[in-house]
Homo-oligomer: A and B are copies of this chain.
């Protein structure tokens, strides 16, 4: 057995403490697997005296993570500080510059500076590993970078944010509103007091930018992502989805198209029978479409101290064994510049919910406007929003697939269209026409359908 691998951990919260615990718990197996004894020898944290859920009594404490990063008392630096700038960025740069391999869970840092950091790691011939930065305990980075090395990847998409998935799952299972579920998630600690970063889709976007680079051999371009959050998803949408055999997930999707690479984050209809639809609650899931393997789906925990630590420790073990890959699979200098495919060119099916104040004749007017743009409809149906039917009783009401006459003085009713594959801009144009016609009394709810 060669020498001890001395690990320094900066940021000792839930994940950092779990990393220390796992490295101790699995010490014997890891030494046997990697040929080296792996030991946390130093940490850095804001509060030296804080009680932590790990035995760190024999470990040197650094007040400054940057000092830890360059210390000759460690051989490998684990960055768990978080954030795209500040101490996180500085300490990772310093560690790499000092020729130390780095393991990080920091998606924001990678989304913003991943390429420079990867180039620095390559220049110094050390590893920069970040399995924990995307989808927590799911080994998706390894799968894309190594497991599918013989594939050309066409699309990668996933449920990448546990907060959003928890909220959407609760809405579906408990027939609660978005607002109620968000409050509950905040109470349980699954959502922040200011939940924008999660529910607005920004966290998913950071992770998606990393997956896109790994999957397609392109540069990280987190600014070239079309992002919609889940704030506008209503219980009416959730129920209509269920009736139609779909489930609504916040997906991050990266896809090669003739126009470049689409990167989009938005609420999405996925068929209930797909593997990705089974990821409920705080679970994450990622599906990869590739030429050789066709479709591969990984489902597992996207967050949590031990699950995230599992990914960190796997990276540490690879480094201990001497494995060195280019951080994004291909050497950074050879990554192609990502060409952004415009969202208006996106091709796919659409779920469209319209609020129609005056039903008679409305189906005809709507169908005509769609036909003018060459949009082919799979179905058009009336759907009563739940608040018109009193509280839901477990199962949603079956959709009525025949056109009904509006009762005199009735409130606006929901009309739901499912389109066959078409272009985003045609849908937007047709909906503008329908709004201008006065057929609908508010802008439409549009949710993209992701084909298997």
A314 touches B150 (CB 8 A): yes
Q: Top 6 A-B pairs ranked by shortest CB distance?
A: A150-B313, A139-B147, A296-B300, A137-B293, A292-B310, A149-B317
In the complex, which residue of chain B has the Cβ closest to the Cβ of A279? B275
A29 in contact (CB, < 8 A) = yes
A248 in contact (CB, < 8 A) = no
A196 in contact (CB, < 8 A) = no
| Chain B proximity of A379: nearest CB distance (Å) | 20
Kindly identify which residue among B150, B314, B334 contacts A310, using a CB–CB cutoff of 8 Å: B150
A297 touches B299 (CB 8 A): yes
Q: How far is the CA of A290 from the CA of B22 in the complex (A)?
A: 12
Give 1 or 0 for each of A289-305: 1 = CB within 8 Å of chain B CB: 01111111111110010
A143 in contact (CB, < 8 A) = yes
A138 touches B323 (CB 8 A): no
Given contacts A29-B217, A149-B30, A298-B297, contact A137 B314 (CB under 8 A): no
A337 in contact (CB, < 8 A) = no
| Chain B proximity of A340: nearest CB distance (Å) | 22
Residues on B with C-beta less than 8 A from A324 are: 321
B300 touches A297 (CB 8 A): yes
Q: How far is the CA of A294 from the CA of B308 in the complex (A)?
A: 11
Which of A49-57, A325-333, A384-392 lies at the interface with chain B? A325-333
Residues on B with C-beta less than 8 A from A146 are: 139, 142, 314, 317-318
Interface residues of A in 265-310 (CB under 8 A from B): 273-275, 277-280, 285, 290-301, 304, 306-307, 309-310
Given contacts A309-B150, A310-B148, contact A32 B331 (CB under 8 A): yes
B150 touches A30 (CB 8 A): yes
| Chain B proximity of A163: nearest CB distance (Å) | 18
A151 in contact (CB, < 8 A) = yes
A257 in contact (CB, < 8 A) = no
Choose among A23, A147, A306, A314 the residue with the greatest number of B CB atoms under 10 Å from its CB. A147
A152 in contact (CB, < 8 A) = yes
Kindly identify which residue among B143, B150, B278 contacts A273, using a CB–CB cutoff of 8 Å: B278
Give 1 or 0 for each of A322-353: 1 = CB within 8 Å of chain B CB: 11111001110010000000000000000000
Q: How far is the CA of A297 from the CA of B271 in the complex (A)?
A: 18
In the complex, which residue of chain B has the Cβ closest to the Cβ of A287? B299
Residues on B with C-beta less than 8 A from A368 are: none
B300 touches A299 (CB 8 A): no
Choose among A139, A279, A301 the residue with the greatest number of B CB atoms under 10 Å from its CB. A139
Q: How far is the CA of A293 from the CA of B151 in the complex (A)?
A: 27
Kindly identify which residue among B131, B137, B275 contacts A275, using a CB–CB cutoff of 8 Å: B275
A25 in contact (CB, < 8 A) = yes
Give 1 or 0 for each of A25-40: 1 = CB within 8 Å of chain B CB: 1100110111000000
Given contacts A29-B217, A33-B329, A297-B298, contact A291 B306 (CB under 8 A): yes
B323 touches A306 (CB 8 A): no
Residues on B with C-beta less than 8 A from A322 are: 322
A18 in contact (CB, < 8 A) = yes
A310 touches B293 (CB 8 A): yes
Kindly identify which residue among B26, B293, B334 contacts A301, using a CB–CB cutoff of 8 Å: B293
Residues on B with C-beta less than 8 A from A301 are: 293-296
Q: How far is the CA of A278 from the CA of B295 in the complex (A)?
A: 13
Give 1 or 0 for each of A46-90: 1 = CB within 8 Å of chain B CB: 000000000000000000000000000000000000000000000
Give 1 or 0 for each of A140-172: 1 = CB within 8 Å of chain B CB: 001100111111100000000000000000000
